Amino acid sequence: MDFNILVGITVWTLVGAVLLFVLMFVDSLFTKYRDFEEVKNGNMAVTSRMIMKLFAQGYILSSSISTSNNLLEAIVVSVVSFIILLVIEHLVHYLLRIVAKFDLEAGTQQGKLGYGLFSGALHIVGALIISSCL
């Protein structure tokens, strides 16, 4: 392994970490509650959802890095994938609320762990589907 590979790994990892932080922050703006406050207060449902969301975004980023020829392409693919996942998440949450009277966001905010796990699982499944398209 030469020096250029080590520098590349470092740069891609740092950019990936910053991108994941930004995406998680943007995601928190779309919830009706304050994600980071809920985590600090010990809400395990919100914490579980955030961890699963982080894993999902990390998996998408990993897939985009492994299939991209340059860093900018990987970032663009990850951001577009994030937007797709965000839109699908809101659509599925809306349909579950209307059709099944199952409000994932309210249940997660109330600390119902099953709600947070269900919501987080949707992120992981979405990430697997999106990544298979890359």
User: What's the pLDDT at 124?
Assistant: 95
| Res 101 pLDDT > 90 | yes
Query: Within a 10 A sphere around the Cβ of 61, how many other Cβ atoms?
Result: 26
Q: Round to the nearest angstrom and report the end-to-end CA distance of the chain.
A: 27
User: What's the pLDDT at 106?
Assistant: 92
Which structural domain range is residue 23 located in?
A: 3-132
Both tokens of residue 64? 């985009």
For the whole model, what pTM was predicted? 0.84
Count the domains in the chain.
1
Both tokens of residue 82? 């994030």
Instruction: In whole angstroms, give the CA distance from residue 48 to residue 35.
Output: 11
Both tokens of residue 48? 């579980």
